[in-house]
Amino acid sequence: MNQDRPSWEMTFAYSEQLAAGSAGEAVRSASWLLVDDGTVVLTAAGQSHLLRAGDAALVGAQVTHRLSTRDGGALTRADLRAVDVGYPLANPLVVRDFVGRHGGVAELVRRCPLAGPCRPTALFASGYASLLGAAMTASWLDDTGRGTEGPAPVLDPTVAQVLSAVIADPGRAWSVEAMAESAHLSRSALGERFRRSLGQSPSEALRDVRMRAARHLLAGGDRPVGQVAYAVGYGSAAAFSRAFTATHGIGPQAWREDPSAARDPERAEARSGDGRGGRADEEHQLDAVLVEDRAS
């Protein structure tokens, strides 16, 4: 098996309109989808993911999934499937803002769907599959902090599942207990799996995911810092600012104005033993409770 170059297959891609109020049918086949307009709920593996315009998702054939929408939506769909991947990806794998991150790939598929007027050859279809598979994989590796350099990581499937849920909804009132419960494991068992697979504790991985989501929101618009704080799971702007500063060396507003002034985020996020990181994690868990209380 060539772990450096995953192999993907795809035979069709097409545009689809979902009518308002559509509940969808249960499907058990490999599927890649890109939301072009509206909002769509993907239900798979016992979880529901709200997908907005620009988001993409990949569901393996082993998992039954369903698409539904309240107000209607437009999709680009394909039967993308992994053939020879050297490590387990999340299933389903949700990539936020796929269009913003891989605009060229998205536009290519939209303009020349395999089932449309372009009628590409089998070789062309293989190229589509490789592009989409590489883009989804690169996003997954980036979102989970594994990077794309060096040998492919061997992720524990349970760790991949939990991380996928956290990445899909970083604003949820996550705690280590909630993460463990989602995987039907004890807190200690989940911690051991995370340390063995990622070299991190679940709380460190949660912090990393939330910080990445925060940077994306701060860089992508003018949403107030308080709204960003709640969107990534903090109960207050003050607590979010403390955690962000502990990770990046500058506050969120200052980072938005000049990201280059921050210390290397990857190096900073890897830091776990300086005392401030532990305090930030404790505040994070307390703030998650606040979010849950406000939502109830």
Token duo for residue 235: 């109960």
Global pTM reads 0.54
Strands (DSSP E) contained in 186-287 are none
pLDDT in tens, 267-283: 444 443 344 344 434 43
Mean pLDDT lowest among 174-178, 182-186, 285-289: 285-289
Residue count of the chain: 296
pLDDT at 219 over 90: no
Rounded-to-integer distance, Cα 274 and Cα 85, Å: 37
Go through the domains of the chain in sequence order and give each one's CATH number: 7-143 (2.60.120.10), 157-295 (1.10.10.60)
Q: Does residue 123 surpass a pLDDT of 80?
A: no
More confident residue, 4 or 143: 143
User: Are 42 and 48 contacting, i.e. CB atoms less than 8 angstroms apart?
Assistant: yes
Distance CA 296, CA 293 (A): 5
